[in-house]
Amino acid sequence: MNIVLPQDVIQIIERLESCGHEAYAVGGCVRDSILGKEPADWDITTSASPEDVKALFTHTIDTGIAHGTVTIMCGKCGYEVTTYRIDGEYKDGRHPESVAFTNLLSEDLRRRDFTINAMAYNQTEGLVDLFGGMQDLQDGVIRCVGEATERFSEDALRMLRAVRFAAQLGFSIEKATYDAICALAPTIARVSMERIMVELVKLLTSDHPEEMRTVYACGLSAVFLPEFDAMMETPQHTVHHQYSVGEHTIHALMAVPAERILRLTMLFHDVAKPVCRTTDEAGNDHFYGHPEIGAEMTGQILRRLKFDNDTIRSVKRLVRFHDMRPVLQEKNVRRSIVKMGLESFPEIFAVKRADTMAQSMYMRQQKLDAIDQFEALYDRMIEKQVCVQKKDLALNGKDLLELGVPQGKKVGEILDLLFAQVIEEPAKNTREELLTEAKRLAAIEK
Q: Smallest gap, in angstroms, from Cβ of residue 17 to ligand ATP? A: 21
Q: Smallest gap, in angstroms, from Cβ of residue 365 to ligand ATP? A: 39
Distance, CA of 422 to CA of 387 (rounded, Å):
7
Amino acid symbol at 287 = F
Whose CB is nearest to ligand ATP? 28
Distance, CA of 99 to CA of 314 (rounded, Å):
40
Pattern 12-41, ligand ATP, x by CB under 6 A: ---------------xx-----------x-
Distance, CA of 379 to CA of 157 (rounded, Å):
44
Q: Decide which of Mg ion, ligand ATP, none touches 158; Cβ closer than 5 to 8 Å per partner kind.
A: ligand ATP
C-alpha dihedral sign at 41, 44, 50, 52: negative
Phi-psi region of 363 (alpha: psi -120 to 50; beta: other; left: phi over 0): left
Nearest CA among 77, 81, 69 for reference residue 12: 81
Other CB atoms within 10 A of residue 35 CB: 12
Query: Of 8, 14, 28, 243, which one interacts with Mg ion (CB under 5 A)?
Result: 28
Among residue numbers 41 through 70, which ones bind ligand ATP (CB under 6 A)?
A: 43
- # binding residues, ligand ATP (CB under 6 A): 12
Nearer to Mg ion, 161 or 290 (CB): 161
Query: Of 85, 158, 269, 353, which one interacts with ligand ATP (CB under 6 A)?
Result: 158
Q: Decide which of Mg ion, ligand ATP, none touches 315; Cβ closer than 5 to 8 Å per partner kind.
A: none
Distance, CA of 418 to CA of 434 (rounded, Å):
7
Among residue numbers 377 through 436, which ones bind ligand ATP (CB under 6 A)?
A: none
Nearer to Mg ion, 80 or 270 (CB): 80
* Segment lying near Mg ion (by CB under 5 A), choices 27-35, 149-157, 223-231, 326-334: 27-35
112 contributes a contact to ligand ATP by CB under 6 A: yes
Nearer to ligand ATP, 116 or 381 (CB): 116
294 contributes a contact to ligand ATP by CB under 6 A: no
Query: Of 71, 72, 84, 113, which one interacts with ligand ATP (CB under 6 A)?
Result: 113
Distance, CA of 49 to CA of 47 (rounded, Å):
6
Secondary structure element (H or E) that encloses residue 446, with its range: none
200 contributes a contact to ligand ATP by CB under 6 A: no
Nearer to Mg ion, 85 or 352 (CB): 85
Contacts of 135 (CB under 8 A, 6+ apart): none
Nearer to ligand ATP, 113 or 136 (CB): 113
Nearer to ligand ATP, 259 or 445 (CB): 259
Q: Decide which of Mg ion, ligand ATP, none touches 108; Cβ closer than 5 to 8 Å per partner kind.
A: none
User: Given 3-state DSSP classes, what are the helix, strand and coil percentages for the chain, each rounded to the nearest 5?
Assistant: 55, 10, 30
Half-sphere CA count of 415, side-chain side, radius 13 A: 20
Nearest CA among 6, 71, 74 for reference residue 39: 6
Q: Decide which of ligand ATP, Mg ion, none touches 113; Cβ closer than 5 to 8 Å per partner kind.
A: ligand ATP
Query: Of 157, 312, 340, 393, which one interacts with ligand ATP (CB under 6 A)?
Result: 157
117 contributes a contact to ligand ATP by CB under 6 A: yes
Other CB atoms within 10 A of residue 360 CB: 14
* Segment lying near ligand ATP (by CB under 6 A), choices 155-163, 291-299, 308-316, 421-429: 155-163
Whose CB is nearest to Mg ion? 28
- Residue 217 to residues 59, 197, 413, Cα–Cα distance (Å): 47, 19, 54
Backbone angles phi, psi at 143, to 5 degrees: -140, 135
Distance, CA of 359 to CA of 152 (rounded, Å):
37
Q: Smallest gap, in angstroms, from Cβ of residue 29 to Mg ion? A: 8
Footprint on this chain of ligand ATP (rule: CB under 6 A):
27-28, 40, 43, 112-113, 117-118, 155, 157-158, 202
Footprint on this chain of Mg ion (rule: CB under 5 A):
28
